[in-house]
Structure 1
Protein backbone atom coordinates (compact mmCIF):
# COMPACT_ATOMS: atom_id res chain seq x y z
CA UNK A 1 0.00 0.00 0.00
CA UNK A 2 1.26 3.48 -0.86
CA UNK A 3 0.44 7.03 0.13
CA UNK A 4 0.53 9.86 -2.40
CA UNK A 5 1.30 13.21 -0.83
CA UNK A 6 2.73 16.60 -1.80
CA UNK A 7 6.45 16.56 -2.58
CA UNK A 8 8.37 18.36 0.15
CA UNK A 9 11.75 19.99 -0.55
CA UNK A 10 13.26 17.82 2.20
CA UNK A 11 12.36 14.77 0.10
CA UNK A 12 15.53 15.42 -1.88
CA UNK A 13 17.39 14.13 1.17
CA UNK A 14 15.43 10.87 0.97
CA UNK A 15 15.23 9.91 -2.69
CA UNK A 16 18.64 8.36 -3.37
CA UNK A 17 17.02 4.92 -3.69
CA UNK A 18 14.99 6.34 -6.59
CA UNK A 19 17.56 8.58 -8.28
CA UNK A 20 20.40 6.02 -8.21
CA UNK A 21 19.39 5.00 -11.71
CA UNK A 22 21.12 5.78 -15.03
CA UNK A 23 17.81 6.89 -16.59
CA UNK A 24 16.93 9.45 -13.91
CA UNK A 25 18.06 13.04 -14.34
CA UNK A 26 18.94 14.54 -10.97
CA UNK A 27 18.82 18.30 -10.54
CA UNK A 28 20.32 20.65 -7.96
CA UNK A 29 18.43 21.24 -4.70
CA UNK A 30 17.26 24.72 -5.70
CA UNK A 31 15.59 23.29 -8.80
CA UNK A 32 13.32 21.04 -6.74
CA UNK A 33 12.66 23.83 -4.23
CA UNK A 34 11.69 26.18 -7.06
CA UNK A 35 9.17 23.69 -8.45
CA UNK A 36 7.58 23.00 -5.07
CA UNK A 37 7.29 26.76 -4.43
CA UNK A 38 5.82 27.63 -7.85
CA UNK A 39 3.73 24.53 -8.59
CA UNK A 40 3.13 22.76 -5.25
CA UNK A 41 0.06 20.85 -6.46
CA UNK A 42 2.05 19.55 -9.42
CA UNK A 43 4.81 17.90 -7.36
CA UNK A 44 3.97 14.68 -5.54
CA UNK A 45 5.77 11.92 -3.68
CA UNK A 46 4.78 8.31 -3.06
CA UNK A 47 5.81 6.58 0.13
CA UNK A 48 4.86 3.36 1.82
CA UNK A 49 1.82 3.45 4.08
CA UNK A 50 3.83 1.81 6.86
CA UNK A 51 7.31 2.59 5.59
CA UNK A 52 8.29 6.26 5.20
CA UNK A 53 10.84 5.41 2.49
CA UNK A 54 10.07 7.15 -0.81
CA UNK A 55 8.91 4.86 -3.59
CA UNK A 56 8.37 7.40 -6.38
CA UNK A 57 7.97 11.08 -7.16
CA UNK A 58 6.74 13.38 -9.90
CA UNK A 59 7.85 16.95 -10.53
CA UNK A 60 5.71 18.79 -13.07
CA UNK A 61 4.37 22.22 -13.99
CA UNK A 62 2.24 24.14 -16.44
CA UNK A 63 3.62 26.77 -18.79
CA UNK A 64 3.45 29.38 -20.35
CA UNK A 65 0.70 31.21 -18.47
CA UNK A 66 -2.84 30.92 -19.84
CA UNK A 67 -4.38 32.06 -22.14
CA UNK A 68 -1.27 31.50 -24.27
CA UNK A 69 -2.21 29.03 -27.04
CA UNK A 70 0.82 26.90 -26.10
CA UNK A 71 -0.29 26.61 -22.44
CA UNK A 72 0.45 23.00 -21.47
CA UNK A 73 1.27 20.63 -18.66
CA UNK A 74 4.88 19.50 -18.55
CA UNK A 75 6.34 16.44 -16.85
CA UNK A 76 9.81 17.37 -15.62
CA UNK A 77 10.63 14.20 -13.71
CA UNK A 78 8.84 10.97 -12.90
CA UNK A 79 10.99 8.40 -11.19
CA UNK A 80 10.11 5.16 -9.42
CA UNK A 81 12.30 3.02 -7.18
CA UNK A 82 13.31 -0.24 -8.91
CA UNK A 83 11.45 -2.23 -6.25
CA UNK A 84 8.17 -0.50 -7.16
CA UNK A 85 8.29 -0.47 -10.96
CA UNK A 86 5.63 -2.22 -13.04
CA UNK A 87 3.02 -1.73 -10.29
CA UNK A 88 1.10 1.03 -12.08
CA UNK A 89 2.53 3.95 -10.09
CA UNK A 90 3.63 5.77 -13.25
CA UNK A 91 0.08 5.59 -14.62
CA UNK A 92 -1.32 6.91 -11.33
CA UNK A 93 1.12 9.84 -11.32
CA UNK A 94 0.47 10.61 -14.99
CA UNK A 95 -3.28 10.54 -14.28
CA UNK A 96 -2.69 13.26 -11.68
CA UNK A 97 -0.73 15.35 -14.19
CA UNK A 98 -3.30 14.85 -16.95
CA UNK A 99 -6.17 15.72 -14.62
CA UNK A 100 -4.42 18.90 -13.45
CA UNK A 101 -3.65 19.83 -17.06
CA UNK A 102 -7.10 19.05 -18.42
CA UNK A 103 -10.26 21.10 -18.80
CA UNK A 104 -11.74 22.80 -15.79
CA UNK A 105 -14.72 21.18 -14.12
CA UNK A 106 -18.04 22.67 -15.15
CA UNK A 107 -20.39 23.48 -12.28
CA UNK A 108 -23.01 20.81 -11.72
CA UNK A 109 -26.47 22.36 -11.45
CA UNK A 110 -28.23 21.84 -8.16
CA UNK A 111 -32.00 21.55 -8.01
CA UNK A 112 -32.03 21.41 -4.22
CA UNK A 113 -33.65 24.41 -2.56
CA UNK A 114 -31.36 25.34 0.29
CA UNK A 115 -29.16 28.24 1.32
CA UNK A 116 -25.91 26.51 2.15
CA UNK A 117 -24.46 23.63 0.20
CA UNK A 118 -23.58 21.17 2.92
CA UNK A 119 -23.23 18.29 0.50
CA UNK A 120 -21.00 17.31 -2.38
CA UNK A 121 -22.26 17.49 -5.94
CA UNK A 122 -21.31 14.80 -8.39
CA UNK A 123 -18.15 15.62 -10.32
CA UNK A 124 -18.30 16.35 -14.01
CA UNK A 125 -18.44 13.11 -16.03
CA UNK A 126 -15.30 13.88 -18.05
CA UNK A 127 -13.04 13.58 -15.00
CA UNK A 128 -12.20 17.29 -14.95
CA UNK A 129 -10.96 18.84 -11.75
CA UNK A 130 -11.76 22.18 -10.16
CA UNK A 131 -8.06 23.00 -9.99
CA UNK A 132 -7.31 22.06 -13.62
CA UNK A 133 -5.55 24.69 -15.70
CA UNK A 134 -7.29 24.01 -19.04
CA UNK A 135 -4.02 23.28 -20.87
CA UNK A 136 -3.90 22.25 -24.51
CA UNK A 137 -1.62 19.25 -24.05
CA UNK A 138 0.91 17.52 -21.79
CA UNK A 139 4.52 17.03 -22.85
CA UNK A 140 7.58 15.28 -21.50
CA UNK A 141 11.13 14.42 -22.51
CA UNK A 142 12.64 10.93 -22.59
CA UNK A 143 16.09 9.77 -23.63
CA UNK A 144 15.84 8.12 -27.05
CA UNK A 145 17.69 5.06 -25.77
CA UNK A 146 15.25 4.52 -22.87
CA UNK A 147 13.05 2.07 -24.76
CA UNK A 148 11.17 0.90 -21.67
CA UNK A 149 10.01 4.43 -20.81
CA UNK A 150 9.12 5.22 -24.41
CA UNK A 151 7.03 2.05 -24.64
CA UNK A 152 5.27 2.88 -21.37
CA UNK A 153 4.37 6.41 -22.48
CA UNK A 154 3.20 5.18 -25.90
CA UNK A 155 0.88 2.71 -24.13
CA UNK A 156 -0.51 5.69 -22.21
CA UNK A 157 -1.35 7.44 -25.49
CA UNK A 158 1.68 9.69 -25.91
CA UNK A 159 3.39 10.04 -29.28
CA UNK A 160 6.70 11.37 -30.56
CA UNK A 161 6.49 15.05 -31.36
CA UNK A 162 10.13 15.85 -32.05
CA UNK A 163 13.69 14.91 -31.23
CA UNK A 164 15.94 17.45 -29.49
CA UNK A 165 19.62 16.66 -29.97
CA UNK A 166 21.86 17.00 -26.89
CA UNK A 167 18.95 17.83 -24.57
CA UNK A 168 20.50 15.60 -21.92
CA UNK A 169 23.96 17.20 -22.29
CA UNK A 170 25.48 14.67 -24.63
CA UNK A 171 23.90 11.51 -23.19
CA UNK A 172 23.80 8.93 -25.93
CA UNK A 173 20.58 8.65 -27.90
CA UNK A 174 19.49 12.28 -27.81
CA UNK A 175 16.01 12.96 -26.55
CA UNK A 176 12.44 12.09 -27.41
CA UNK A 177 9.62 14.55 -26.76
CA UNK A 178 6.12 13.22 -26.45
CA UNK A 179 2.78 14.99 -26.47
CA UNK A 180 -0.61 13.96 -25.20
CA UNK A 181 -3.74 16.04 -25.76
CA UNK A 182 -5.05 17.27 -22.40
Structure 2
Protein backbone atom coordinates (compact mmCIF):
# COMPACT_ATOMS: atom_id res chain seq x y z
CA UNK A 1 0.00 0.00 0.00
CA UNK A 2 1.21 3.48 -0.84
CA UNK A 3 1.23 6.40 1.57
CA UNK A 4 -0.24 8.60 -1.16
CA UNK A 5 -3.75 8.28 -2.56
CA UNK A 6 -4.01 7.35 -6.21
CA UNK A 7 -5.38 10.77 -7.20
CA UNK A 8 -2.38 12.55 -5.68
CA UNK A 9 -0.08 10.22 -7.62
CA UNK A 10 -2.03 11.13 -10.77
CA UNK A 11 -1.55 14.85 -10.08
CA UNK A 12 2.18 14.33 -9.54
CA UNK A 13 2.42 12.34 -12.79
CA UNK A 14 0.59 15.07 -14.75
CA UNK A 15 3.00 17.66 -13.32
CA UNK A 16 6.00 15.47 -14.19
CA UNK A 17 4.75 15.30 -17.78
CA UNK A 18 4.40 19.09 -17.94
CA UNK A 19 7.95 19.43 -16.59
CA UNK A 20 9.21 17.67 -19.74
CA UNK A 21 8.60 20.96 -21.56
CA UNK A 22 12.27 21.98 -21.85
CA UNK A 23 14.58 23.15 -24.64
CA UNK A 24 16.45 19.84 -24.30
CA UNK A 25 13.23 18.08 -25.34
CA UNK A 26 12.70 20.42 -28.31
CA UNK A 27 10.46 23.04 -26.70
CA UNK A 28 10.96 26.81 -26.46
CA UNK A 29 9.92 27.13 -22.81
CA UNK A 30 11.68 25.56 -19.84
CA UNK A 31 9.37 24.21 -17.14
CA UNK A 32 11.91 21.96 -15.42
CA UNK A 33 12.80 22.67 -11.82
CA UNK A 34 15.73 25.09 -11.61
CA UNK A 35 18.48 23.89 -9.27
CA UNK A 36 21.07 26.39 -8.10
CA UNK A 37 23.92 25.98 -5.67
CA UNK A 38 24.81 29.06 -3.66
CA UNK A 39 27.52 28.81 -0.99
CA UNK A 40 27.27 25.01 -1.13
CA UNK A 41 23.53 25.10 -0.50
CA UNK A 42 21.28 23.70 -3.25
CA UNK A 43 18.00 25.47 -3.85
CA UNK A 44 15.21 24.25 -6.11
CA UNK A 45 12.88 26.68 -7.85
CA UNK A 46 9.81 24.89 -9.14
CA UNK A 47 7.93 26.13 -12.21
CA UNK A 48 5.10 23.57 -12.15
CA UNK A 49 2.79 23.44 -9.13
CA UNK A 50 -0.11 21.35 -7.84
CA UNK A 51 -3.05 23.04 -6.16
CA UNK A 52 -1.55 26.50 -6.18
CA UNK A 53 -3.90 29.31 -7.13
CA UNK A 54 -2.13 32.48 -5.97
CA UNK A 55 1.15 33.74 -7.37
CA UNK A 56 3.24 36.84 -6.87
CA UNK A 57 5.85 38.94 -8.63
CA UNK A 58 8.69 36.88 -7.13
CA UNK A 59 7.49 33.65 -8.78
CA UNK A 60 9.38 32.34 -11.82
CA UNK A 61 8.04 32.75 -15.34
CA UNK A 62 6.98 30.76 -17.21
CA UNK A 63 5.08 28.69 -14.67
CA UNK A 64 2.14 26.30 -14.66
CA UNK A 65 -0.34 25.24 -11.99
CA UNK A 66 -2.55 22.14 -12.01
CA UNK A 67 -5.77 22.46 -10.02
CA UNK A 68 -8.89 20.39 -9.61
CA UNK A 69 -11.71 21.99 -11.55
CA UNK A 70 -14.01 23.88 -9.16
CA UNK A 71 -17.07 21.95 -10.28
CA UNK A 72 -16.77 18.21 -9.89
CA UNK A 73 -18.45 15.88 -12.35
CA UNK A 74 -20.67 13.06 -11.13
CA UNK A 75 -19.02 9.66 -11.09
CA UNK A 76 -20.50 6.58 -12.68
CA UNK A 77 -20.80 3.76 -10.14
CA UNK A 78 -20.48 0.11 -11.07
CA UNK A 79 -23.88 -1.34 -12.06
CA UNK A 80 -23.72 -4.10 -9.44
CA UNK A 81 -23.35 -1.56 -6.63
CA UNK A 82 -19.72 -2.53 -6.06
CA UNK A 83 -16.97 -0.17 -5.05
CA UNK A 84 -15.32 0.05 -8.47
CA UNK A 85 -15.80 3.44 -9.99
CA UNK A 86 -15.27 4.83 -13.44
CA UNK A 87 -15.58 8.56 -13.60
CA UNK A 88 -14.26 11.71 -15.16
CA UNK A 89 -11.99 13.98 -13.18
CA UNK A 90 -11.60 17.49 -14.55
CA UNK A 91 -8.34 19.29 -13.92
CA UNK A 92 -7.66 22.93 -14.72
CA UNK A 93 -4.19 23.76 -16.02
CA UNK A 94 -3.11 27.40 -15.87
CA UNK A 95 0.09 28.80 -17.35
CA UNK A 96 1.66 32.23 -16.88
CA UNK A 97 4.34 33.90 -19.02
CA UNK A 98 6.25 37.15 -19.45
CA UNK A 99 4.29 39.44 -21.75
CA UNK A 100 5.46 40.43 -25.19
CA UNK A 101 5.13 44.25 -25.27
CA UNK A 102 3.64 44.42 -28.78
CA UNK A 103 1.62 41.20 -28.74
CA UNK A 104 1.09 40.35 -25.07
CA UNK A 105 -0.56 36.95 -25.51
CA UNK A 106 1.85 35.45 -28.05
CA UNK A 107 4.08 33.82 -25.39
CA UNK A 108 1.00 32.36 -23.67
CA UNK A 109 -0.10 30.77 -26.96
CA UNK A 110 3.34 29.18 -27.30
CA UNK A 111 3.36 27.84 -23.74
CA UNK A 112 -0.20 26.52 -24.08
CA UNK A 113 0.70 24.68 -27.29
CA UNK A 114 3.78 23.15 -25.67
CA UNK A 115 1.84 21.94 -22.62
CA UNK A 116 -0.83 20.42 -24.91
CA UNK A 117 1.89 18.69 -26.96
CA UNK A 118 3.52 17.20 -23.84
CA UNK A 119 0.17 15.96 -22.52
CA UNK A 120 -0.84 14.54 -25.91
CA UNK A 121 2.40 12.53 -26.05
CA UNK A 122 1.08 10.49 -23.12
CA UNK A 123 -1.39 8.75 -25.44
CA UNK A 124 1.57 7.01 -27.08
CA UNK A 125 3.07 5.69 -23.84
CA UNK A 126 2.85 1.90 -23.55
CA UNK A 127 3.91 -0.58 -20.91
CA UNK A 128 7.24 -2.24 -21.66
CA UNK A 129 6.62 -5.07 -24.10
CA UNK A 130 3.14 -3.86 -25.04
CA UNK A 131 2.18 -3.77 -28.68
CA UNK A 132 -1.23 -2.31 -29.43
CA UNK A 133 -2.69 -2.79 -25.96
CA UNK A 134 -1.63 -1.69 -22.54
CA UNK A 135 -1.87 2.09 -22.80
CA UNK A 136 0.07 3.51 -19.90
CA UNK A 137 -1.15 7.09 -19.44
CA UNK A 138 1.23 9.03 -17.18
CA UNK A 139 3.11 5.81 -16.38
CA UNK A 140 0.28 4.60 -14.13
CA UNK A 141 -0.58 1.34 -15.90
CA UNK A 142 -3.79 0.19 -17.51
CA UNK A 143 -5.39 -1.90 -14.74
CA UNK A 144 -7.31 -0.53 -11.76
CA UNK A 145 -6.43 1.93 -10.43
CA UNK A 146 -5.50 3.69 -13.64
CA UNK A 147 -6.10 6.60 -15.95
CA UNK A 148 -8.22 4.92 -18.62
CA UNK A 149 -8.34 7.84 -21.04
CA UNK A 150 -7.92 11.59 -21.24
CA UNK A 151 -9.28 14.52 -23.19
CA UNK A 152 -7.38 17.79 -23.54
CA UNK A 153 -9.55 20.89 -23.81
CA UNK A 154 -8.85 23.85 -26.08
CA UNK A 155 -6.58 26.43 -24.45
CA UNK A 156 -8.00 29.85 -23.68
CA UNK A 157 -5.40 32.64 -23.71
CA UNK A 158 -5.89 36.00 -22.01
CA UNK A 159 -3.79 39.14 -21.61
CA UNK A 160 -2.85 40.52 -18.21
CA UNK A 161 -5.84 42.35 -16.79
CA UNK A 162 -4.65 43.39 -13.35
CA UNK A 163 -7.45 41.39 -11.72
CA UNK A 164 -6.87 37.74 -12.59
CA UNK A 165 -3.20 38.10 -13.47
CA UNK A 166 -0.51 40.71 -13.95
CA UNK A 167 0.90 38.52 -16.77
CA UNK A 168 -0.57 36.98 -19.90
CA UNK A 169 -1.89 33.52 -19.14
CA UNK A 170 -3.73 30.50 -20.50
CA UNK A 171 -5.92 27.82 -19.07
CA UNK A 172 -7.22 24.55 -20.37
CA UNK A 173 -9.10 21.59 -18.97
CA UNK A 174 -7.68 18.10 -18.81
CA UNK A 175 -10.39 15.50 -18.32
CA UNK A 176 -9.11 12.18 -17.04
CA UNK A 177 -11.27 9.06 -16.91
CA UNK A 178 -10.19 7.19 -13.80
CA UNK A 179 -10.88 3.57 -12.89
CA UNK A 180 -10.51 3.15 -9.16
CA UNK A 181 -11.81 1.18 -6.18
CA UNK A 182 -13.42 3.47 -3.61
CA UNK A 183 -12.46 1.10 -0.81
CA UNK A 184 -8.80 1.26 -1.84
CA UNK A 185 -7.89 4.92 -2.49
CA UNK A 186 -4.22 4.15 -1.74
CA UNK A 187 -3.98 1.20 -4.16
CA UNK A 188 -0.90 1.03 -6.35
CA UNK A 189 -1.38 0.47 -10.11
CA UNK A 190 -0.32 -2.86 -11.58
CA UNK A 191 2.43 -2.08 -14.10
CA UNK A 192 2.82 -5.59 -15.51
CA UNK A 193 1.27 -7.02 -18.65
Q: What TM-score, normalized to structure 2?
A: 0.31
Task: Report which of the two has the higher share of helix.
Answer: 1
Q: What TM-score, normalized to structure 1?
A: 0.32
Higher RCO, 1 vs 2 (CA within 8 Å, ≥6 residues apart): 2
